[in-house]
Amino acid sequence: MRRRPVLGLVVALLAGAVSAVGAPPAQAEEPFLWGVATSGYQSEGSAPDSNWRRYEQSGTSSIEEPYRNAVDFRHRYAEDIANARALGARVFRFGVEWARVEPREDVVDQAELAYYDDVVDHVLAAGMRPMITLDHWVYPGWVADQGGWDTQKTVDDWLANARRVVDRYKGKGAIWITVNEPTVYVQNEIENGGIQAWQAPWMQSRLVTVHRRAYDLIHQLDPGAMVSSNAAYIPGVQAALDATFVDHVRDKLDFVGVDYYYGASLDNLSAVHGVNGEFWKIDPQPDGIYYVLRYYARKFPDLPLYVVESGMPTDDGRARPDGYTRADHLRDHVYWVQRAKADGMDVIGYNYWSITDNYEWGSYRPRFGLYTVDARSDPALNRRPTDGVAAYRSLVAGDGVPAGYRPVKAPAVCSLVDGLDSCLRPAPYPGPLAPLG
Ligand code: BGC
C-alpha cells in the first residue's frame, strides 16, 4: 500500500526548477458545489492494460491483494450517479481513463468512449456538473512501454488524449482536473518502479508542462470552464511539495484544489501510521482542514478554494475503536469549512471521497465509501449505505451543519497542519459559522 509523507518529502527535495508567475482569473460559483468523487481505475473494474494493471499483476510493493473487478463502476455507474443525486450533490467527479480510451497507440476504443458519454449524460440528467479528471495516476500499457513519464513523447501523447476528451465533453459545464495529486503521483511511480527516484525532477517538470498546456487547451476548447489540479496536503511540508508543482502553475489555475485527509498536532501524531500504510489507525483531525484552507487562501489570495477530496478510511468497514463514524467525520469537517468561510476564505466546493469503497491502490482494506461495497466477497457488489449517507444528505440540504453544532472531535492542541502558524494562530473556537450556500 502506498505511503505518503516520507517519500513525498524526498521527492520534493529532488524538485527541478521551472518557474512561472502570474495573476490568475478568479471565478466564484454559486450555489456551493457539494460533490462526491471517484476515480477510474479504483472503481471501474474490467481494467485494461495500464501502468497500474501491470503493478498489480507483477505484485509491486504497493500491492497487497488482487484488483478483481473493483466495484464495477464500468457497468454500475447509473446506480452510483443516482445515489449521488439522492444526496443532493451538485458535482460528480470521475476520471476518464486514457488506458481505456486509447488501449493501443492511435487506436481509439469507440465503445469505451460511448461508455463515458453515457456517464456524462447520466451526471447531467441528474442535475449535476461533471468534474472530470484527465489523469488519476493511470496511463496505458503502451505508454509504460515507451518509458512512461521518463520520456518527452508521453507529454505529447498525453496532450493528444486530453484534446480528444476535452473536445468531446466541452460545453457541458464540466470542471476539469488535469493531474490528480501530482506529488503523490510521482511518489507512487517511484514506489512501483514506473520511474527511478533520480528521475523524479523530470516527471515533475513534465506534469507541470501537461498541466500548463492542458489549461490553455481547455480554455480554448471549452471557454469559461474551470480548470485546476488538486494538491494532496501533507502537514508541515506542504510548502516544499508546492515547490514541485503548484508554484509552477499558479497562473494556470482557476481555483485551488485541495485534498485533506490527515493532520498533525502536539496531541495527535498518529499520522505516523501512514508510513506503513495503516491509514485507518490515524486519528482524524477535522480542524486541520481550516488551516489547509487558510494556507492556500494566504498563498493564492485571488483564487477561490475547492476541497476536491476529503474522507476517512475505516479498517475494512469495521467501526473505529474510538466510535468516531463517517457521519461524525463529515459533519466535523464541514463545520471547519464553514468556519473558514466565516473567516473570509472563499470556499466554493467540497467533494467527499468517495461515493463507494474502491481499490485503494493495492488494497480493499481502507474503505472510504459513503456506500460500502464488499469487493472481495460479494459477487453482486451491492452498495450499502453507511451513516455518512444520511449525514451528507442533511448537510447538503442545510448548506452546512445545524446551528449550534459542536464538533465531536475537539480542536487540536497546537495544530501543526500549517507548521507553527496553525499552532500560534489557532482558529477562534467555537467562532462564527457561515452557511455554504
Ligand atoms: C487519491 C485517491 C485515494 C485517496 C485516499 C487521494 O490521495 O486521489 O485516489 O483513494 O486519496 O487515500
Ligand 1 atom, smallest distance to 39 CA: 9
Distance CA 238, CA 42 (A): 26
| Contact between 230 and 277 (Cβ < 8 Å) | no
- CA dist., res. 328 & res. 320, Å (int): 12
Which residue ranges in the chain fall short of pLDDT 50?
1-28
The C-alpha cell at 227 is 480548470
| Cell numbers at 195, concatenated | 520511474
Which CATH number characterizes residue 226's domain?
Answer: 3.20.20.80
Pick the atom of ligand 1 nearest to 180's CA: 8
Q: Does residue 389 fall inside a structural domain?
A: yes
Answer yes or no: is 432 within a domain: no
| Number of independent structural domains in the chain | 1
User: Which of ligand 1's atoms lies nearest the C-alpha of 2?
Assistant: 12
How do residues 3-21 score in pLDDT, each as one tens digit? 443 333 333 333 332 323 3
Q: Is 357's C-beta closer than 6 angstroms to any atom of ligand 1?
A: no
Out of 137, 309, 357, give the residue to mutate to test ligand 1, the one with the largest number of ligand atoms within 8 Å of its CB.
309
Whether 180 is in the pocket of ligand 1, judged by its Cβ within 6 Å, is yes
Question: What's the pLDDT score for residue 406?
Answer: 98
**Span from the CA of 328 to the centroid of ligand 1 (angstroms):** 20
86: containing domain:
29-262+304-335+346-407
Give the DSSP letter string of 39-70.
Answer: -HHHHH-SPPSBHHHHHHHHT-TT-SS--TTT
Find out whether the peptide bond into 31 is cis, omega within 30 degrees of 0: yes
Report yes or no on 121 lying in a domain. yes
The atom number, within ligand 1, closest to the CA of 230 reads 8
The Å distance, Cα 136 to ligand 1 centre, comes to 9
| Residue 286 resides in a domain | no
Closest residue by CA, ligand 1 atom 12? 360
pLDDT at 30: 75
Say if strands 366-367 and 305-310 run parallel, antiparallel, or are unpaired.
unpaired
Q: Is 260 close to ligand 1, i.e. is its CB under 6 Å away?
A: no
CA–centroid distance, residue 299 to ligand 1 (Å): 24
230 Cβ below 6 A of ligand 1: no
For 326-383, the pLDDT digits (tens) are 999 999 999 999 999 999 999 999 999 999 999 999 999 999 999 999 999 999 999 9
Q: Is the CB of 353 under 6 A from ligand 1?
A: yes
Residue at 386 is within a domain: yes
Distance from residue 241's CA to the centre of ligand 1 (Å): 17
Q: What whole-number distance in Å separates Cα of residue 167 and Cα of residue 171?
A: 9
Residue 270 maps to a domain: no
> What is the Å distance from ligand 1's center to 38 Cα?
9
The rounded Å distance from CA 232 to ligand 1 centre is: 9
Is the beta carbon of 184 within 6 A of some atom in ligand 1? yes
Q: What CA–CA distance (Å, rounded) separates 103 from 94?
A: 19
Q: Name, in order, each residue with C-beta under 8 angstroms of 255's C-beta and a sequence gap of 6 or more.
A: 27, 226, 228, 303, 304, 305, 306, 348, 349
Q: Is the CB of 309 under 6 A from ligand 1?
A: yes
Q: Is 289 inside any structural domain?
A: no
Domain annotation covers residue 55? yes
